[in-house]
Amino acid sequence: MCLSRIQSLRLAAVLEDCSHQLEILGHILAMRIRRERPAQEKTKLRKLTGDCEYISQLMSKLHLELEEKWCFSSLLQAVEEIEQRRRDTNMKREEMKQVDKRRQTLLKQQEELQQKTLKLQVIHQEANKKDNLLKMRSKENTKENDTGLQLRKIQNETSQAEALLEGQLELLKKQLKEEVRVHEESQKFLLSQHEELQQLLHGLQQHTEQMVQKKSKQLHNVCFKKNLNLDRLEDMKMKFKEMEQMVMEDREEQEKLHQQQAQIRAATKLQAWWRGCIVRRGLCGFKKAEKGKKGNKKERKKKKK
């Protein structure tokens, strides 16, 4: 899903803040682990630190994706991976539970078989006792052939029961061996998976450390650029204020000039109107005086000639 540039930047800023908070939480948990605490609490704290590191890795990937691609597909992929791992772990747990159930059933069957064997031994002992008694009676009473036939029947039945129970015992032993083999193979597989996950966790930790160093350098550069831009912005603000003051002064001077020009125009219009009024009313004695002066000048010129 693609986002706009502003949305991606907002989410990136929020994720960066969350990653910083997770780093602080990881340091706090590490300090708590170093203190003397019970083993169960230490395991919980270590699990929490692992979860914090994993979440910070996901946030760093999502931060890069939001800055570069303006989307968050890595988050969906991470959720799918977590769900898959959870399903795998649940399947493994179910398999282990089934193996334990089979083992318990086999143990129960073995106990039942042992009880049956004990019963069979008791029956066999009773049969032996009966056989001895019958032999004694047969020695005493050679005429009692029916008892010998019954004794043979009992012996045949007991031998058949012993053979059947021995077959069942062998079958149960084979099943127990098979279950033990399956359990050992599953245990080996789980150990190998655990080692692979430990290696993957170590690689992810190294990658996160490198990413943290890289991000810290980028943050230092961004802060330096931010300070430079702030200084430039302050200079531009000062220049803008100076220019604004000059523009205001220029406007005031122009307004004063316009007022002076308007006053001059009004004065000229007033003078023209006054002269027109004087001319229309015949108050123009100064014009006759001017004509007399011109006649005097002409007479003077004639006299000179």
Give yes or no for residue 141 having a pLDDT over 70.
no
User: Tokens at residue 243, please?
Assistant: 């220019």
**Higher-pLDDT residue of 61, 155:** 155
Dump pLDDT digits (tens) for 219-254: 889 889 888 989 989 999 999 899 989 999 999 999
Give the per-residue pLDDT at 258.
92
Give the per-residue pLDDT at 248.
92
Give yes or no for residue 291 having a pLDDT over 60.
no
Mean pLDDT over each residue of the chain, to the nearest integer: 77
Give yes or no for residue 143 having a pLDDT over 50.
yes
Give the per-residue pLDDT at 290.
47
Mean pLDDT score, 49-70: 70
Give the per-residue pLDDT at 246.
92
Give the best-scoring range by mean pLDDT among 45-49, 52-56, 100-104.
100-104
Give the per-residue pLDDT at 293.
47
Give the per-residue pLDDT at 203.
86
Task: State how far the Cα of 206 lies from the Cα of 226, in Å rounded to an integer.
Answer: 30
Q: How many CB atoms lie under 10 A from the CB of residue 40?
A: 8
Mean pLDDT score, 160-174: 87
Give the per-residue pLDDT at 287.
47
pLDDT over 70 percentage in the chain? 72
User: Tokens at residue 195, please?
Assistant: 């080692």
Q: Which of 223, 215, 201, 220 is nearest to 15 (CA)?
A: 215
Task: State how far the Cα of 215 lies from the Cα of 27, in Å rounded to an integer.
Answer: 17
Packing angle between helix 5-34 and helix 39-68, nearest 10 degrees? 160
Give burial (CB, 10 Å; 0-12/13-18/19+) of 62.
buried
Could you tell me the pLDDT band of residue 51, with boundaries at 50, 70 and 90?
confident
Give yes or no for residue 3 having a pLDDT over 80.
no
Q: Which of 153, 154, 158 is nearest to 117 (CA)?
A: 158
Give the per-residue pLDDT at 264.
92
Give the per-residue pLDDT at 208.
84
**Higher-pLDDT residue of 16, 192:** 192
Number of residues assigned to the chain: 305
Per 3-state DSSP, the chain is made up of helix, strand and coil in percentages (nearest 5) of 95, 0, 5
Give yes or no for residue 64 having a pLDDT over 50.
yes
Q: pTM of this prediction?
A: 0.27
